[in-house]
Amino acid sequence: MIENSGRPRAVDALVFDAYGTLFDVQSVASTAEALFPGRGAALAQLWRSKQLEYSWLQSLMQSPGQPREDFAAVTAHALSYAAEALALPLPAHARHRLLDAYLHLSPFPDAEPTLAALAPRRRLILSNGTHAMLAPLAAATGLARHFDAILSADDAGVYKPSPRVYQLAVDALDCPPIRIGFVSSNSWDAIGAKAFGFTVFWINRSGAPIDRHGPAPDCMIRSLADLPALLTAA
Amino acid sequence: MIENSGRPRAVDALVFDAYGTLFDVQSVASTAEALFPGRGAALAQLWRSKQLEYSWLQSLMQSPGQPREDFAAVTAHALSYAAEALALPLPAHARHRLLDAYLHLSPFPDAEPTLAALAPRRRLILSNGTHAMLAPLAAATGLARHFDAILSADDAGVYKPSPRVYQLAVDALDCPPIRIGFVSSNSWDAIGAKAFGFTVFWINRSGAPIDRHGPAPDCMIRSLADLPALLTAA
C-alpha cells in the first residue's frame, strides 16, 4: 500500500532521477513527430522502451571481459531498432536531430522551485545517463546550481536498478539509505530504490498503476511540487 | 550481419529455450481473448512484456539478502499489473485460467520432428521457468523423451540473459560453449547466448528486426524445421 500523502518523512538529503523526473522527455517525441508526422509518438515510445530494455539486458549480460556500453550508445542502438521495427527511414540528419533532442530537454516547470524549497538539504542527481549527457543539460537548464553533485551509473559500471548504482549516493552522502529521499517518476527505479533501502517518492504524473516486482515506494505523488510538504523540517 | 543459411555448424549438443521456442504461447492469448473479447491480444502482449521486464529487473535488483522470486511468481505479478493497466477486472477464476494456460501449452508442430532429427546429439531445455512448470509440460506434450535434461534458471538463482544461467548448460554438457548450439525465438535470449559464447540459432518466425544491444546470433532461421540442415553430421 502506497501512501498518497501520509506522515512527513525525515530525510537529510534528496537524490533525483534525471530523465522523466527532472527533465521532460516530451520534446523528444515532438522532434520525432516533426520528422515523422503521425508516427512520432510510436517512435518515441518504442525508442524509450528499448532504451530501458537494453540498459537492463546489458547490465545482466555483463561478464568480466564484456563491460556494458554507456547510455549514449544504448540510446543510439535503441533508436536504430525502433526506426527499423516501425519501418521509418532514418537518414543521418534525422538520427542526429533525435539523439540531439536528449541533450536539450526542458526541466518540468516545478523542478526549479521544488529544488529551491528543499534547500538547505543536500541534493544530488543519480542517473543512468553519462556525465557528458548530464552535466551540460544541468548547466543549460539552470538546475546545476541546486545540486551538490551529479552521479552517473557509469561510476558503478552497471545500470539502475542494480544496488551498486544506488550505493553511489550513499557513498557520496555518507548517510544511511533510510535518511535519503529518492525521487523518480520511473516506477521500476522507485521500486529498485525502495528494495535498496531509500525512502522513496514516486512521481506518478500519469496516474499509472504501480509495478509488482518489488517493494512499493513509500509515497506516491503527482508532481515534484508535492514533495517539500512531505518532508519534516530540514 | 546474420547469416540466413550459411555454412553448416559443428555442434555436439543443442540447448533449447522453452516458451515461444518449443512451446507456442498463442494459447495464452486465446484464453485471454475468450475471457476478454477484443482485449485478449493486448492483455497477452502486456503480460508477456511485463513478465520479461520483471525477470530482468528482479535479477538486477538482487542483493545478498534479497533473492529473486521464481518465474511462476513473476508471471503472476505481471498478470496483475497487465490487468490493472488495461482496466480489466480479474476475478479469481479468470486469473486461475490464465495462469493455468502457461502449464498447458502446445509444442510448435515442427518441434517434435526437429528434435528427433537432431538425435543422437544431446538435447537440453534451458528456461527461465521453474522445474514445476517445465517438467509436466515436457511430459504432457511428449517432448520429454527427446531431452537429456531440463535446466531451470532457478538452478543459477538468476534469470537469462545472465551468463550464470547459460553456464548451467556448459556444466551439464561438459563441452565448450562454441560446440553447443543454442536455439531461441527470443531475440534478447539469442543475443545473450551469443555474448556468452554459444553457437546461436535465432528462430525468427515473425520476421522481426534483430535487437542491437549485443552480438548478433550466428544464424537466423524462420522455423525449427530449418535447423537440422544447418548442422554438420553428428
A40 lies in some domain: yes
Instruction: Please tell me whether residue B114 adopts helix, strand or coil conformation.
Output: helix
Which chain B residue has the Cα nearest residue A87?
B209
Residues B81 and B185 in one domain: no
Q: What is the pLDDT of residue B2?
A: 62
Residues B225 and B136 in one domain: yes
Rounded to whole angstroms, the Cα distance separating B180 from B25 reads: 26
B158 lies in some domain: yes
Q: Considering B71, B101, B131, which residue would you say is the last residue of a domain?
A: B101
Q: Considering A101, A116, A141, which residue would you say is the last residue of a domain?
A: A101
Residue A6: pLDDT band (50, 70, 90) is low
Residues B89 and B185 in one domain: no
Q: What is the pLDDT of residue A234?
A: 67
What parts of chain B have a pLDDT lower than 50? none
Asked if A162's CB is within 8 angstroms of B50's CB, the reply is: no
| Comparison of pLDDT for A90 and A5, the residue scoring more | A90
Residues B142 and B85 in one domain: no
Residues A113 and A219 in one domain: yes
Q: Which candidate, B83, B86, B111, places its Cα nearest to that of B97?
A: B83
Provide ipTM, 2 decimals.
Answer: 0.95
Asked if A213's CB is within 8 angstroms of B77's CB, the reply is: yes
Span A39-72, pLDDT tens digits: 999 999 999 999 999 999 999 999 877 788 999 9
| CB < 8 Å to A195, chain B | 61, 63, 66
Q: What is the pLDDT of residue A2?
A: 62
Of B17, B24, B189, B218, the catalytic one is B17
Burial of B89 (0-12, 13-18, 19+ CB in 10 A): exposed
Q: What is the pLDDT of residue B93?
A: 96
Helix A92-101 vs helix A26-35: crossing angle, to nearest 10? 160
Residues A168 and A58 in one domain: no
Please answer whether residues B143 and B111 qualify as being in contact, where contact means their C-beta atoms are separated by less than 8 angstroms. Answer: yes
Asked if A81's CB is within 8 angstroms of B211's CB, the reply is: yes
| CB < 8 Å to A80, chain B | 212
Please answer whether residues A182 and A193 qualify as being in contact, where contact means their C-beta atoms are separated by less than 8 angstroms. Answer: yes
Domain that includes residue B53, residue range: 25-101
Q: Considering A101, A129, A147, which residue would you say is the last residue of a domain?
A: A101
Question: How many domains in chain A?
Answer: 2
Span A135-173, pLDDT tens digits: 999 999 999 999 999 999 999 999 999 999 999 999 999
pTM above 0.90, yes or no: yes
Span A196-234, pLDDT tens digits: 999 999 999 999 999 999 999 999 999 999 999 999 876
Q: Which candidate, B131, B126, B213, places its Cα nearest to that of B164?
A: B126
Q: How many CB pairs under 8 A join A and B?
A: 101
Q: What is the pLDDT of residue B9?
A: 86
Residues A88 and A113 in one domain: no
Asked if B59's CB is within 8 angstroms of A213's CB, the reply is: no
- What average pLDDT does this structure show over A109-134? 97
Reading the block at residue A96, the C-alpha cell is: 542526429
- What average pLDDT does this structure show over A2-14? 79
Residue A17 is among the residues annotated as catalytic for this protein? yes
Residues A52 and A165 in one domain: no
Residues B82 and B114 in one domain: no
Residues B88 and B124 in one domain: no
Q: What is the mean pLDDT of chain A?
A: 94
Chain B, window 95-154: residues with a beta carbon less than 8 angstroms from a chain A beta carbon: none
